[in-house]
Chain A
Amino acid sequence: MSNEHDMVIEIEDLSKSYGHHDVLRGLSLRVAAGEVYGLLGPNGAGKSTLLHLLLGFLKPNAGRVQVFGSSNLEAMRAQIGYIPERQRYHTRYTAREYLHFMGEMSGLYGSELSNRVEELIVLVDLEADANRMLNTFSKGMLQRLGVAQALLGDPSLLLIDEPTSGLDPSGQRGVLDLLASLRDRGHTVFLCTHYLHEIEYLCDRVGVLARGQIAAEARVHDLRMPSSNVMIEVNLLEPELRNQLQALSMGITCEPRMIQIRQNTPQLQTEVLQILINAGVAILALEPLESPLEQFYTQAVQSVTPAQVAQRPKKEKPVFVATPADLAPPKRPVTRPPGEGETLLNELLRRSSGSANGETNKPESEK
């Protein structure tokens, strides 16, 4: 893989239209090596169009697209793995036959190809079904096959389009876990989705595509702050404890089994949790009343109005351009699948059990 500071994807002022329908309007973005970039946008926003432009299937009307520093996108395909949105593969083949053929198309032959195919069949957990025809596969299995075919040529960059679209919860979890393992192997990933939880789970950085532009970008880690409004579910709060909590802030309201914190801050949330832990109250759940990523997405989409788009001169900079700090090599936090609880709560519980065991409160990375 190339140097981590290299740009794998560089898009500048990209425009694409179909007839009179403008899909992308002066879009600019950059993705660094080793980074997992998530592109959020509603259906029809132009996410698939952007992926097809990156693959050289479509020609831009204006602007510049470079992958691995080259504008010859067809020549770069050997370094790209592509997982399409719809699980549409040639279904008159077994999984093993299909992967063999795709491997040949990627320039693999002989024992190298056979070994690679078997290795990937194991990776995507299709050993038991490798000799079944693809037209008997479930959507989840087809998507895992899609991951396997994309990895055949050992690509440095993965382009992924709506990886869990149409999958049941179990299939979604399987595919997300698989993609998380690829992220941890150091692949650069460009993921298009309209599911916020995929971004939270997989990505280092997120961009919101609205009206053909990147309306906003942010580091996902920065969005993992305590939500401004949270709800804590407990087994039972005694009246004295409720009063003690409500005295902390005007934004705290308590009921016998629930605490709501409005205008939350990390300090306030810590104080509340500390009081609850010290009082021996069982904390059943801590949930944001709305996710910070959801707020970010909504604000980004609302920030770009049709009038603004119409008035924007062609050469004007996009609404947001990532700074060099944003493009620094990713320092990934320990992420957990959606629904596994709040990081701060986990940290407090760890501290609490660490104190009981006489351990020091070192950060996770230093242990």
Chain B
Amino acid sequence: MRSLRFTGFMLLEYLRSGRVALEIIATMVVFFVFLRRVGISMNAEYFFSVTGVYAPILTLYTTAAFIGLGDRPQGYVLLAHGMSRTNYLLGIFGSALSIVAGSYGILALMAALFNRPLDLTIFGWMLGTIPLLLNVALLAALMLMLSPLVFPSSWRLTVLGLIALAFSSNFIGGPIFESLPPLVRAILRAIQAVLGGPLVPAFYGFQLTVTRDYSSMTAVANILAQISLLIALLGLAIYSFSRRDLIFSDGAQG
């Protein structure tokens, strides 16, 4: 409950500060450039392709903005009032998610009003929206976890290194990969497979958003995998945040 109240408090501050103007402008630009193309009708696949890319990009900015708001000495007073660190972190997460979800909702509403995808029903929209918002939540949780507020520098570097290794098949491939000794190649493949595992739900989630194909159990399993991964990331962030020294930025210790 306190977490929800804190989310409301953060959102009100964000709205009053005028920073939300950036999200509104970006949403308008995306709508008029990509979704409101005069004379060209839009289908559901196109709509979700655009929003499936736009929402995560917006998440990068908005989550960073809310992490900045949370990582200020003002937080000491809040926490001194008995608010738990868990609620504090969830409040930041919830605030960022609310703004991105709200922007996505406005974009979808404008599309429905002014250039409705011909093959998209409300039910279809919901089927595409669920994995999309779960991807947004996953990205926000990952950013929160990797913020200076939560992870110390050494942990951040380690996790970023692991993510780079997971993606390494994209930039260590072809001739370079083949030139490596067989043992190194085998180890690298194994590491990429292991570390790439947690990325699968996010990528498949994007595919599911676009196709909205829930005919196989794989789709449902992927939604569960996204939820599990989200809980794992938030759990890790909360665990780390609750155990470390709380030193907000610009909160010099005297």
Contacts and interface: CB of A to CB of B under 8 A. Distances in A.
Contact of A52 (B16, B77, B243, B253): B253
Nearest to A149: B77
A49 interface: yes
A317 interface: no
Interface string B218-246: 00000000000000000000000001011
A23 B16 CA distance: 39
Interface in B76-97: 76-85
Given A58-B246, A107-B82, A152-B81, A49 B254 contact: yes
Given A58-B245, A92-B17, A149-B77, A105 B82 contact: yes
Interface stretch (B5-13, B58-66, B104-112): B5-13
B47 to A, nearest CB: 35
- Among A45, A81, A90, A153, residue most surrounded by chain B Cβ atoms (within 10 Å): A90
Contact of B81 (A58, A92, A106, A146): A106
B253 A102 contact: no
- Among B5, B80, B82, B245, residue most surrounded by chain A Cβ atoms (within 10 Å): B80
Contacts of B254: 43-49, 85
Interface stretch (A72-80, A168-176, A319-327): A72-80
Nearest to B253: A49
Interface residues of A, number: 38
B185 interface: no
Interface string B1-29: 01001100100110011000000000000
A101 B5 contact: yes
A18 B80 contact: no
Contacts of A104: 2, 5
Contacts of A106: 81-82
B13 A77 contact: no
B253 A86 contact: no
A98 B137 CA distance: 29
B72 interface: yes
A89 interface: yes
**Chief secondary structure at chain B's binding surface:** helix
B82 A77 contact: yes
Nearest to A103: B81
Interface string A46-64: 1111001001011100000
- Among A57, A59, A152, residue most surrounded by chain B Cβ atoms (within 10 Å): A57
Contacts of B73: 84, 86, 88
A195 interface: no
Interface string A99-143: 001101111000000000000000000000000000000000000
A84 B17 CA distance: 24
A102 B13 CA distance: 14
Nearest to A82: B80
Given A48-B254, A77-B82, A105 B2 contact: yes
A105 B84 contact: no
Nearest to B248: A57
A140 to B, nearest CB: 18
A59 B245 contact: yes
A113 to B, nearest CB: 12
B85 to A, nearest CB: 8
A52 to B, nearest CB: 7
B74 interface: yes
Contacts of B16: 92-93
A99 B198 CA distance: 43
Contact of B74 (A43, A85, A90, A153): A90
B77 A82 contact: yes
A211 to B, nearest CB: 14
B72 to A, nearest CB: 7
Interface of A: 18, 23, 43-49, 52, 55, 57-59, 74, 77-78, 80-82, 84-86, 88-90, 92-93, 101-102, 104-107, 146, 149, 152-153
26 contacts: A43-B254, A45-B254, A46-B254, A47-B254, A48-B254, A49-B253, A49-B254, A55-B80, A57-B79, A57-B246, A57-B247, A58-B245, A77-B80, A88-B72, A88-B74, A90-B13, A93-B13, A101-B5, A101-B9, A102-B77, A105-B5, A105-B6, A106-B81, A149-B77, A149-B81, A152-B81
Given A57-B245, A102-B77, A105-B5, 17 more contacts: A43-B254, A48-B253, A55-B80, A58-B245, A77-B81, A77-B82, A81-B80, A82-B77, A84-B77, A89-B74, A90-B9, A93-B12, A101-B5, A102-B81, A104-B5, A105-B78, A149-B81
Of all A-B residue pairs in the complex, the 8 with the closest CB atoms, nearest first, are A48-B254, A82-B80, A105-B81, A57-B246, A92-B16, A92-B13, A58-B245, A77-B82
Interface of B: 2, 5-6, 9, 12-13, 16-17, 72-74, 76-85, 243, 245-247, 253-254
